[in-house]
Amino acid sequence: MNITPVTIYEDPSLKEIHERVNAIMEEAISNKAFPGAQFMVVKRGQLVFHETYGYHSYDRITRVDRNDLYDLASVTKIAAALPAIMKLVDEGKLDLDTPFSAYWPSWKDHPEKAALNLREILSHQAGLHPYIVFVNELRDKKGKFKRRYIHSRYSKSHPIKITDDMYVSRKFRKEMYKTIDNSVVKPEKIYRYSGLSFLLFPKIIEDLTGIPYHTYIRKEIYEPIKAHSLMFNPEGWYPENMIVPTERDTIFRNIQVKGVVHDENAALMGGISGNAGLFGTAEDLARLMHMYLQEGKFRGEQILSRETVREFTKVQYPENGNRRGLGFDKPLLDNKSRSLTEAYPAPAASMESFGHSGFTGTFVWADPQGDWVFVFLSNRVYPSRSHQEIYAMDIRERLMQLFYEYDQE
């Protein structure tokens, strides 16, 4: 992918799009949808738009920069765990239709889970419980942290750092696994979003490769596409003034979260998880999405097989009203018939398109029809996750639709 920008002002209609994007972003910031954001558009491997807006926070001290690092939240699923899984499918170490219990043996002791396969799990068709708030397991009946799980100082028994004065027991991860093992499964085979399996994938990947999860992804995926900013736990490794803050955590850590994962469950995994924890820049996310768009190829090198990328990015269970691919989100099945406020991710997005959103205000999408890559990064949870204007104002949908409509003219 050529990341050098083309001149967008040569075409008058593109100049008009630039002005309209500016208006949408200024409206969003003035309504406190987020203190700042950036939007990037790549077409046919060429950067046609990348602009930044606003500040890291409402104190208006640090302006948003193109090289800023964001907490990607659930975008981690398709930017870290999923490419590793795809690589292992290519290598024959994972099979989509083999019972998942072959890779997570404790499920063999749970009849309702024993026969579930990776295809059902990745497409959210398995009936798994949606989410578990593991922070609740750390507290006693009085709401205080249990001493066996939380210490104020690092030790061999409590090595997982949450804050400077909060360390979690190494045994708690096993408690998390056990709780997931014992969680209820819905018997109906219908779409039910669940992120629980993504807490298990790092260990499975490590068991199958003999390499730490984050090391495997870096070597097999990020280094070949030169996506060097994609990382876990960037605090101390990346300039502080280039890391965008997320939420002021008043529930668990009582800190301003910045440079460490926002998601509490991922934090309890040491910040390295499959459900959340990845940080990155817009450019490096665009590189990854472009690799997917080119069916696993990047600058002549086949990183993932075409067959695997095609399989993962297609709808798996449309007959059940499930729009999802394998790990990837997809447009609503009746998207073309919906208005801008009802469509997802935008009315003009093709059914071949795919991507994912993140709780912190992040979003990535690729569309083979038109050869588009869209990257939207914001910290909409600053200072609090109660900020929902990004959804109410259809910010990302409106931005994408502008470029689709230009392409149709």
* Residue 312: φ, ψ to 5°: -70, -30
Contact of 197 with 129, CB cutoff 8 Å: no
Q: Which tokens go with 345?
A: 């991710």
Confidence at residue 4, expressed as pLDDT on a 0 to 100 scale = 46
CA distance 109 to 202: 21
**Nearest-5° Cα angle at 383, 381 to 386:** 55
- C-alpha to C-alpha distance for 379 and 55, rounded to whole angstroms: 10
Length of the chain: 409
Q: Rounded to whole angstroms, how far apart are CA atoms 103 and 96?
A: 11
In a domain, residue 405? The reply is no
User: Residue 303: how many CB atoms within 10 A of its CB?
Assistant: 21
Residue 70 lies in a domain: yes
Classify 355 as helix, strand or coil: strand
- Quick check: is 249 in a domain? yes
Query: What is the C-alpha separation between 51 and 26, in angstroms, rounded?
Result: 12
Considering its fold, how many domains does the chain have in total? 1
In a domain, 184, yes or no: no
Mean pLDDT by 10 residues, the chain (409 residues): 49 82 97 98 93 97 98 98 98 98 98 97 97 95 93 96 96 97 94 97 98 98 98 95 96 95 98 98 98 97 98 97 98 94 96 98 97 98 95 97 83
Domain that holds residue 117: 65-127+193-329+354-367
Predicted TM-score (pTM) of the model is 0.96
Q: Is residue 56 part of a domain?
A: no
Q: Give a yes or no: residue 183 inside a domain.
A: no
Q: Which pLDDT belongs to residue 397?
A: 96
Q: Which two tokens stand for residue 179?
A: 């709780």
Residues 6+ apart with CB under 8 A from 124: 191, 192, 193, 194, 322, 324
Amino acid 129: pLDDT: 96
CATH number for position 199: 3.40.710.10
Q: How far is 123 from 136, CA to CA, in rounded Å?
A: 28
Closest of 103, 296, 75 to residue 209, by C-alpha: 103
Is 401 among the domain residues? no
Widest Cα–Cα separation across the chain? 65
Distance CA 374, CA 18 (A): 15
Q: pLDDT value at position 5?
A: 46
Give the C-alpha separation, 323 to 82, whole Å.
Answer: 17
Whether residue 409 lies inside any domain: the answer is no
